[in-house]
Amino acid sequence: PSSMTPLTFIDGYTRHIWACLIAKKSEVFACSLKVKSHAERETRRKIKCQRSDGGKEYFSDKFSSYLKKEGIQREFSCRNTPQ
């Protein structure tokens, strides 16, 4: 059996949580796209900032280009900390 890891997304204002399960870190970008689409439909608001722990999975050229194209600001917290 493969091990699944939860990937959580938390709205910093409302504290609403969205989550998906991933098998590999390479799935973070695709999961992020799905959650972004769902969250923006649900809240009727655009995501303005994406904060992560600075893990390598958030630094792909594809991910960086997408966030820049969408006008989403990036912030990084210390690794292995929840905030």
pLDDT by position in tens, the chain (length 83): 478 999 999 988 889 999 999 999 889 999 999 999 999 999 899 999 998 887 888 888 899 999 999 999 999 887 766 55
Please give the model's pTM, rounded to 2 decimal places: 0.80
Paired tokens of 40: 């923006």
Closest CA to 78 of 51, 47, 60: 51
d(CA 3, CA 40): 29
Q: What is the pLDDT of residue 78?
A: 77
